[in-house]
Amino acid sequence: MDIKVDKQHSNGKTFVFVAGEIDAYTAPKLREELLPLAEEQNQSLIVSLKDVSYIDSTGLGVFIGLFKLIMKNDGELKLVNLSDRLERLFQITGLSNIIDISTNSEVGYNETIS
């Protein structure tokens, strides 16, 4: 399985739309796409996982590293549009206690384009 990452910039925020499976094979590509964004000072990063069907421990590691880097640079990270399955994974691992996670988002893909 491959992974697709689309980025949109709107109103001072960066929206990232991820599709596919995030595993040991695809996590390096996701990391390569996301970490440069987190290096920017005061970055507001919103990542939609609506079209992500699976995340393994390597994928979770990407989000942990992303969170640490974005916090170091006084930014904010929000994960949105998680399926029930992914939300449960973040809850079980305790990551939902440190990363802002929402099953729904007030901002959808079409709204960021306009």
Which sequence spans correspond to the domains of the chain? 3-113
Residue with tokens 């040991």: 24
Task: Give the pLDDT means over successive 10-residue stretches in the chain (114 positions).
Answer: 91 94 96 94 95 95 96 96 94 95 62 38
pLDDT for position 11: 87
> Contact 99/63 with Cβ under 8 angstroms?
yes
Look up residue 82 and give its DSSP letter.
-
pLDDT for position 102: 84
CA quadruple 49, 96, 86, 33: dihedral positive or negative?
positive
* φ and ψ at residue 92, rounded to 5 degrees: -60, -40
Claim: this prediction has a pTM higher than 0.85: yes
Distance between CA atoms of residues 23 and 71, nearest Å: 24
The CATH number of 3-113, from 3.40.190.10, 3.30.750.24, 3.40.630.30, 3.30.160.70, is 3.30.750.24
pLDDT for position 112: 41
